[in-house]
């Protein structure tokens, strides 16, 4: 059996979908379905069982709970960068992850978990897997950073695979439930379905209108990295997951416009509440991932957006 926490979420549901395509359906999906709309992400998936995230973590205390686990993909977390209840965030993202990792170590189960590029904060020191680059600027990022720090202490004495994947700006299918946290691709698409303009932030941090740059990585590539580590269980460590090439929001908007074959870009004033708390530039250093042996190419924005919008607008 394979366990996927956050299995009804964006990355988790895509991961299960890919496992299904490989013929794997002995899967335990763990999540919190308080937001029942997330069921749209999993209605077409084949799983062996579902369990609420709180029931799951409590039942880990039972030594007879679950056997013959091939791997755990820990994708579940409170991912809201605007959540400032530190006690809540640390309980859900840090303590929960620690308990699950400790269980995996006792049972010798490979553990692949979602970290985040938000750990790099404003990115002034770069985006390398190095402590000097890491300066989180919100509670979500701090919870991910602190768990990575915990993993770093565990790795030298680990009994089985531990892999942390620092996702950059992921976009793609099954993200609609995230509302305001959905990707710019998703929002631009909706704007062109109801109008003729896509709205981008005006200049900030020394970048011209819409020229802020992010490492936009397509969900299919993110899933491929996860599955590669499943097949290479002797590889452990913390890795960036991005294309390694930043592209502008203008380029993302233009790719959406090109797909729709209509539309124009307009710019709105940069929000005051985001000043000093916004990543105007991200670019993954994927040298560690390449050194581990991962050789597949990543889609650029033009390729990823085309595939995504085909699926999103045509129901593929």
The yes-or-no answer on residue 167 being catalytic is no
Helix (H), strand (E), coil (C) string for the chain:
CEEEECCCCHHHHHHHHHHHHCCCCCEEEEECCCCHHHHHHHCCCCCCEEEEHHHHHHHCCCCCCCCCCCEEEECCCCCCCCCCCHHHHHHHHHHHHHHHHHHHHHHCCCEEEEEEHHHHCCCCCCCCCCHHHCCCCCHHHHHHHHHHHHHHHHHHHCCCCEEEEEECEEECCCCHHHHHHCCHHHHHHHHHHHCCEEEEECCECCECCCCCEECEEEHHHHHHHHHHHHHCCCCCEEEEECCCCCEEHHHHHHHHHHHHCCCEEEEECCCHHHCCCCCCECCCCCHHHHHHCCCCCCCCHHHHHHHHHHHHHHCC
Q: Which pairing describes strands 27-31 and 2-5: parallel, antiparallel, or unpaired?
A: parallel
Active-site choice (107, 178, 199, 235): 178
Does the active-site annotation cover 178? yes
Which residue in this structure is represented by tokens 């895509």? 14
Residue of 96, 113, 120, 140 marked catalytic: 140
CB-neighbour burial class of residue 244 (10 A; exposed 0-12, middle 13-18, buried 19+): middle
Alpha-carbon span 59 to 37, nearest angstrom: 26
Active site residues: 140, 178
């Amino acid at each position: 059996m394979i366990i996927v926490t956050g299995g009804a979420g964006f990355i988790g549901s895509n991961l299960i979908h890919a496992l299904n395509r490989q013929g794997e359906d002995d899967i335990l999906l763990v999540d919190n379905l308080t937001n029942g709309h997330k069921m749209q992400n999993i209605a077409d998936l084949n799983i062996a069982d579902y369990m609420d995230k709180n029931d799951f973590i409590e039942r880990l205390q039972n030594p007879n709970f679950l056997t013959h686990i091939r791997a755990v993909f820990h994708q579940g977390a409170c991912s809201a960068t605007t959540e400032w209840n530190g006690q809540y965030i640390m309980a859900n993202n840090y303590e929960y992850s620690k308990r699950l990792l400790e269980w995996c170590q006792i049972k010798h189960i490979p553990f692949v978990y979602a970290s985040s590029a938000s750990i790099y904060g404003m990115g002034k020191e770069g985006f390398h897997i190095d402590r000097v680059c890491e300066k989180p600027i919100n509670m979500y990022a701090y919870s991910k950073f602190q768990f990575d720090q915990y993993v770093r202490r565990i790795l030298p004495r680990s009994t089985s695979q531990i892999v942390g994947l620092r996702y950059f700006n992921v976009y793609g299918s099954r993200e609609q439930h995230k509302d305001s946290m959905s990707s710019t691709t998703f929002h631009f698409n909706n704007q062109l379905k109801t109008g003729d303009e896509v709205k981008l932030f005006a200049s900030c941090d020394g970048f011209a209108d819409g020229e802020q740059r992010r490492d936009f990585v397509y969900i299919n590539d993110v899933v491929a990295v996860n599955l590669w580590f499943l097949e290479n269980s002797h590889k452990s460590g913390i890795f960036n997951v991005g294309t390694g090439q930043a592209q502008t929001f203008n380029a993302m908007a233009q790719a959406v416009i090109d797909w729709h074959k209509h539309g124009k870009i307009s710019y709105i004033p940069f929000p005051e509440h985001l000043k000093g708390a916004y990543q105007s530039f991200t670019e993954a250093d994927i040298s560690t991932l390449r050194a581990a042996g991962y050789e597949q190419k990543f889609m650029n924005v033009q390729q990823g957006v085309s595939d995504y919008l085909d699926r999103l607008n045509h129901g593929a």
